[in-house]
Amino acid sequence: MAKKTLVLVFHPGLNTQSHVNKTLADAAAELDNVTVRDEYALYPDGKIDVAAEQAAIEAADRIVFQFPLWWFSSPALLKTWEDEVLQHGWAYGSEGHAFEGKEFQVAVSTGSPEANYQPDGANKFVIDQVLVPFQGTANYISATWVKPFVTFGAFGITDEALAEAAKNYQALLAK
């Protein structure tokens, strides 16, 4: 049986500026076991409904943060979301067990190609190194870290490559 999956999309221009994340979010939303939440559409003022976000987490078996990689990090609302939603006593601490038994993953897009994410590439780091803070968060909240889903080269991706990425994303989420 497929895991009940919650995809939290963090892109401030999902419907107007994002070709890759919009395509991936739409592909994910086609699956019966997946709920997609466009966090910037839900919280355009940055004021997060913590209770609603926590309830969505509690109803899922797998949580995916989907976002474009910006300056080797995430869009600002994702950091705000973490600061507000991942509360002591709920997500971590002696009484915080909300993520135990749940999978945690990121689905990230990069503007530059995979060749840039190599020790000898322009960015000097492989993508797993860049995403260590998210893996650290998963560890801290006692979630099971799952290998990231990465779509490299968003600035120059072909329609064919994006269609293939969307198909692969669906296959991953359908499990």
Could you tell me which of 89, 76, 65, 87 has the C-alpha nearest to residue 145? 65
Length of the chain: 175
Rounded Cα distance, 69 and 126, in Å: 13
Report the alpha-carbon angle 109-110-112, nearest 5: 150
- Assign 3-class secondary structure to 69-128: CECCECCHHHHHHHHHHCCECCCECCCCCCCCCCEEEEEEECCCCHHHCCCCCCCCCCHH
The confidence score (pLDDT) of residue 1 equals 83
CB neighbour class for 161 (10 Å; exposed up to 12, middle 13-18, buried from 19): middle
pLDDT at 171: 97
pTM metric for this prediction? 0.96
Looking at residue 87, its amino acid is Q
Q: List own/partner pairs for 31-34 with CB under 8 A and 24 or more apart.
A: 31/2, 31/5, 31/170, 31/173, 31/174, 32/2, 33/2, 33/3, 33/4, 33/5, 33/173, 33/174, 34/5, 34/6, 34/7, 34/173
The pLDDT assigned to 163 comes to 98
Mean pLDDT for each consecutive 10-residue tract of the chain (175 residues)? 96 92 98 98 97 98 97 96 98 96 98 95 95 98 98 96 98 96
pLDDT of res. 15: 87
pLDDT of residue 16: 87
Q: What is the pLDDT of residue 85?
A: 98
